[in-house]
Amino acid sequence: MIERQLAPTLRRLAKSFPVLAITGPRQSGKTTLARHLFPDKPYVSLEDPTERAFAVEDPRGFLSRFTQGAIFDEAQRWPDLFSYLQGMVDEDRSPGRFVLTGSQQFGLMAGVTQSLAGRVAMCRLLPLSAAEMAGVGNGQSALDDVLWRGAYPALNIGSPTEPVDWFASYITTYLERDVRQVLQVQDLATFQRFVRLCAGRTGQLLNLSALASEAGITHTTARAWLSVLESSDVLFLLTPYHRNFGKRLVKSPKLYFVDTGLACWLLGIRHSEQLSLHPARGALFENWVVSEFLKRRTNLGQAPDLHFWRDNNGLEADLVYETGTGLLQTVEIKSGQTPTSDYVRAGQRSASMAADEACIPLLIYGGDMSALRNGVQLLSWRMLARKD
From CA 363, how far away is CA 376, in angstroms rounded?
7
The dihedral formed by the CA atoms of 236, 242, 246 and 250, expressed in degrees to the nearest 10? 30
209/315: higher pLDDT: 209
From CA 44, how far away is CA 140, in angstroms rounded?
38
**Whether 105 contacts 114, CB under 8 Å:** no
pLDDT digits (tens, 9 = 90+) for 238-265: 999 987 666 677 889 999 999 999 999 9
Which pLDDT value is given to residue 259?
A: 97
Q: 7-124: which CATH architecture? A: 3-Layer(aba) Sandwich (3.40)
Which pLDDT value is given to residue 386?
A: 79
Q: Which amino acid is at 27?
A: Q
From CA 80, how far away is CA 98, in angstroms rounded?
15
345/70: higher pLDDT: 70
The dihedral formed by the CA atoms of 316, 317, 318 and 324, expressed in degrees to the nearest 10? -150
Across 110-125, average pLDDT: 84
**Whether 163 contacts 67, CB under 8 Å:** no
CATH 3.40.50.300: which residues of the chain?
Answer: 7-124
pTM of the model: 0.94
What does the DSSP 8-state code read for residue 357?
Answer: G
Helices (H) and strands (E) in the chain, counts: 16, 13
Counting residues of the chain whose pLDDT is more than 90, the rounded percentage is 70
Which pLDDT value is given to residue 36?
A: 97
Mean pLDDT of the chain, nearest integer: 90
- Looking at the DSSP bridge assignments, the partners of residue 256 are 236
Buried b (16+ CB within 10 A) or exposed e, 356-380: eebbebbbbbbbeebeeeeebbbbb
